[in-house]
């Protein structure tokens, strides 16, 4: 008795490799998307809070130079 595989049900071996390749492409795309979103968020936060940080640092520098030490 010979074993026969139903290719309609399981697909050919090349379709399995195609699935693996597609899955890898999706993972790479999602990883790149996550990095892009984190970079965008960090850039946006830096641009939003940068003036306040600069003002705080300038104020601290002014206060530290104007204090008369005993």
User: What tens-digit pLDDT sequence spans the chain (70 residues)?
Assistant: 455 555 555 555 566 668 788 888 888 888 888 888 888 888 888 888 888 888 888 887 777 776 665 4
Backbone phi, psi, residue 18, to 5°: -65, -40
Query: Residue 66 and residue 14: Cα distance in Å, rounded?
Result: 75
Domain boundaries, the chain: 12-66
Contacts of 54 (CB under 8 A, 6+ apart): none
Measured between its terminal Cα atoms, the distance across the chain in Å is 102
User: Taking the model in full, what pTM does it have?
Assistant: 0.45
The DSSP 8-state label assigned to residue 5 in this structure reads -
Query: Residue 18 and residue 25: Cα distance in Å, rounded?
Result: 10
């Amino acid at each position: 008795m010979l074993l026969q595989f139903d290719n309609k049900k399981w697909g050919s071996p090349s379709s399995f490799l195609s699935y693996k390749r597609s899955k890898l492409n999706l993972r790479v795309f999602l990883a790149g998307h996550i990095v892009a979103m984190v970079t965008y968020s960090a850039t946006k936060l830096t641009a939003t809070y940068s003036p306040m940080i600069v003002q705080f640092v300038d104020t601290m520098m002014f206060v530290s130079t104007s204090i008369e030490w005993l």
